Chains A and B, each alone.
Chain A
Amino acid sequence: MKIVRDGRLFGALNLLDIIIILAVAAAGFVAWRYVSGGALGGERGPIHFTVELNDVTDEFIGKIRVGDDIKDSVKGYYLGKVSDVRPEEYVLNNWDSRTEAYVKSVVPGRKTVRVEIAADGVMNERAIYAGEIAVKIGRETSIKGKGYAGTGYIVELRED
């Protein structure tokens, strides 16, 4: 029995047929992963996570309001709504050569703001997702609301 006959596999399928079958199978696999499991499969429920933005002004903080819609400013995915805004002093660890020790120094005129975001989450053993984004402590995240944007680290995360 010949495997390839007249440019066709087993005399029936040509290369174009095979490419089309593989493409359809790949598309089906991706669709299956998206709809019923795979990367974003898991239990759904509300989550809260907090992004810390450093070295900002009071004026900037005043633009962020509870209820604002927040998107990932790099990929554009919707993340959730602002559920809390917590301004704090912006503090740096600096070396004090007189005492030869690190000390906390407050930066005058600048603030840290913690922006808590309420989102519809998808949770599995690998990650907790807000929209398409895997939300994890220590992940650098760029967010934007209406008229403002900033980049900071995720510092709080909880499932409700």
Chain B
Amino acid sequence: MIKQGKLFGNVSLIDIFVLIVVLGVIAGGIYKFTSPETASGQNRATIVYTLRVEGVRAFTFDYYHPGDLCFDRKTEEAIGAIAGVRQEQFEQRTILEDGSVVFAPVPDLITVYVDIETEGRETGAAYYSGGNYELKAGSEIPFMTRWIVVQGIIDDVHSKNLYS
């Protein structure tokens, strides 16, 4: 069967290896673009998620602009655009002398809530931003826009509509 490194004396093992790699790449591409989760835009949706940025200085609020594009700081992947922004007084969890816990306001510090909208996908198991970034409440995102860089926590994720 294998003669002088050639299958049936004609096709070399290296040829076969190259063919398998090429076929694998083609098959992967076909799966990627035609699998039920990605085909024909069935699960495409406008995903809205809210990022909570806690305990930051009050002046930073002026640097969140609706419409600004948002990126993951580590991967630089686009993760949507700012749809809305609001702030509230930051309250620090503090333990009193008797052991009880209170939330006390800290001067000049705020919590910022940033609503981010992205054209992404919704599946039965997850929400994804346009760039296949999985969005899940409770996860931290190193987030940046043109103006600002912060660490935020996703508070809420939902799809705005489905284009079925």
Interface set of A (CB-CB < 8 Å, partner B): 2-4, 93, 95, 97, 100-104, 123-128, 136-139, 155-157
Contacts and interface: CB of A to CB of B under 8 A. Distances in A.
Given A102-B107, A136-B147, A137-B149, 13 more contacts: A3-B15, A3-B18, A97-B96, A100-B96, A102-B104, A125-B146, A126-B71, A127-B144, A136-B144, A136-B149, A137-B63, A157-B63, A157-B147
A49 B14 CA distance: 58
A138 B150 contact: yes
B105 to A, nearest CB: 7
26 contacts: A2-B15, A3-B14, A4-B14, A4-B15, A4-B18, A93-B106, A93-B108, A93-B109, A97-B96, A100-B104, A102-B92, A102-B104, A102-B106, A102-B107, A104-B108, A123-B146, A126-B69, A127-B144, A128-B146, A136-B145, A136-B148, A136-B149, A137-B60, A137-B149, A155-B57, A155-B59
A137 B148 CA distance: 4
Interface residues of B, number: 31
A19 B15 CA distance: 19
Contacts of B18: 3-4
Interface of B: 12, 14-15, 18-19, 56-57, 59-60, 63, 69, 71, 76, 92, 94, 96-97, 102, 104-109, 144-150
Contacts of A97: 96-97
3 residue pairs, one from A and one from B, having the closest CB atoms: A136-B149, A137-B148, A4-B14
B49 to A, nearest CB: 20
Contacts of A155: 57, 59
B25 to A, nearest CB: 14
A100 B102 contact: yes
Given A3-B15, A3-B18, A138-B60, A127 B146 contact: yes
Q: Which of B15, B76, B97, B146 has the most chain A CB atoms closer than 10 A to its own CB?
A: B146
Nearest to B91: A102
A102 B92 CA distance: 9
Contacts of B12: 2, 4
B89 to A, nearest CB: 11
